Structure 1
Amino acid sequence: MLEVLRNGLVVSCQPVDDGPMDRPDIITAMAQAAIAGGADGVRIQGADNLRHARKSITVPIVGIVKRDLPDSPVRITPFLDDVAALAQAGADIIAYDATSRARPVPYAAIVEEIAKHGCLAMADCSNMDDAKSAVQDGAQIVGSTLSGYTDETVHLGPEPDLEFVKELSGLGAFVMAEGRYASPSLAKAAIKAGADCVTVGTPLTRLEVNTAAFRNAISQVT
């Protein structure tokens, strides 16, 4: 599985929540289009979306469940039931929030549940402490996904955290560069920095976000 993804591209097929493209059939079409363009894998949110896509694609799928919890900032696959649902829907890899923030279920238990279902665990990390703990817990993949998206890392700005990717490459785990890779040149830079694979989402699958950027740029002139 990891060799299929090595030096490859994963496309995160996550449209804007509750937008016109947030439908299982459209998400499946996004995944098919990404694969036609050369994607080696896809990342899909939600068991129903994943189940629909699994019927027609054979590349590795990274599955997640996103939740907005009232008592925790953790959003990515916070519950054991989420892991089970993703595995039953056909996920090959299950990603989870690996930060040290307050959470409903210990992340070691999440990794254990992922392994129980025969899937690979991907730790979405914000810093090296997260990643080291994840590797100790048994995660096979460490991602830079949450660097820039926690209170401690939000100051890092709009560029991807290539220094974090370089540090991750020394851990011995499979490294997924993810988060703000907005151009082909940045994806290339991630591989050069030591990433084994790169995940790209918003620039490819969030039409509303990219349209707004063009519209705003034009408005500044007129």
Structure 2
Amino acid sequence: MVDNLKHKLIVSCQSWPGTPFYGDPRMMRAMAECALMAGAGGIRANGPDDIREIKKTVPLPMIGIWKAPDKRGVRIITPDFESAEKLADAGADIIAIDATAEARPDEEELRELVGRIRSELKLAVMADISNAEEAVRAERCGADLAATTMAGYTSYTVKTDGPDLDLIETLVRTVHIPIVGEGRFSKPEEVQEAIRNRGAHSVVVGTSITAPWEIAARFVRAI
């Protein structure tokens, strides 16, 4: 499944509270169908309901996440094994988890979660990280691939204007697992740069494809 995503565009189909798409999985299925029509190689979606709906008509590899409160009450990506299990039941092919030190400071807990997903659910694990140290830790804990999803979104990393291409390049040289570029990709040239010149295995793009209100706002700001 991981190999099938090599040099492919993964479209993140997610909705946010207060937007017209929120709360209706059929909207996310329509968005995923558009991604399929465009030739995308995979989908990333949030929650069992959206994943189950998308899988009805979209036969692409599915990276499943579930943004939910952890035991501290902090909302993170796939907080526990139970949430991962529900994503698997809904049809996820790869389970993405927050693997930052901020969200999961205990390495043994991270290792246990990754191990259970791989051994009990028989699914690959994508570690969403924010820096090189977290990618090394994720690899050590058994993750199958790492994504730059959280770069710039932890208290100890800097949010770059666009995608953190330098981090991608550093990760490719630092760990042996595939690196997925994710976060603030807005131009096709950035995706091309990440894969062709920086060594990314694949790239996830969300807002710039699946959030039309944000896309429209860029044109409004230009005027």
**Same fold by TM (over 0.5)?**
yes
Secondary structure of 2:134's aligned partner = helix
The 1:102/1:6 distance shift into structure 2, 3 A limit, reads closer
Q: Does 1:179 align with 2:179?
A: no
Partner of 2:16: 16
Q: Does 1:165 align with 2:173?
A: no
CA contact (8 A) 2:70 2:79 kept: no
Residues 133-191 of structure 1, C-alpha deviations (whole Å, 9 max, x = no match): 111111111111111111111x3322211111112112111110111111100001111
Q: Counterparts of 2:169 and 2:215 in 1: how far apart (Å)?
A: 29
Q: Counterparts of 1:120 and 1:54 in 2: how far apart (Å)?
A: 18
Q: Counterparts of 2:58 and 2:71 in 1: how far apart (Å)?
A: 35
Task: Tell me the CA shift for residue 3 of structure 1.
Answer: 2.2
Secondary structure of 1:132's aligned partner = helix
Partner of 1:43: 44
Instruction: Report how many aligned residue pairs link the two structures.
Output: 217
AA of the residue aligned to 2:146: V
Partner of 1:88: 89
Q: Does 1:145 align with 2:146?
A: no
Question: What pairs with 1:186-205 in structure 2 (closer than 5 Å)?
Answer: 186-191=190-195, 192-205=197-210
CA contact (8 A) 1:182 1:200 kept: yes
Partner of 1:113: 116
AA of the residue aligned to 1:97: D
CA contact (8 A) 1:79 1:104 kept: no
Q: Counterparts of 2:162 and 2:218 in 1: how far apart (Å)?
A: 16
Task: Tell me the CA shift for residue 217 of structure 1.
Answer: 3.1
The 1:53/1:69 distance shift into structure 2, 3 A limit, reads same
Question: What pairs with 1:117-128 in structure 2 (closer than 5 Å)?
Answer: 117-128=121-132
Q: Counterparts of 2:14 and 2:219 in 1: how far apart (Å)?
A: 20
The 1:104/1:190 distance shift into structure 2, 3 A limit, reads closer
Which structure 1 segments of 5+ residues have no match? none
CA contact (8 A) 2:102 2:154 kept: no
The 1:51/1:181 distance shift into structure 2, 3 A limit, reads same
Secondary structure of 1:208's aligned partner = helix
The 1:101/1:74 distance shift into structure 2, 3 A limit, reads farther
AA of the residue aligned to 1:92: D
- TM-score under structure 1 normalisation? 0.91
Q: Counterparts of 2:105 and 2:70 in 1: how far apart (Å)?
A: 9
- TM-score under structure 2 normalisation? 0.91
Q: Percent identity?
A: 37
AA of the residue aligned to 1:162: L
Q: After TM superposition, where is structure 1 displaced by more than 3 Å over at least 4 residues in a row?
A: 68-74, 102-105
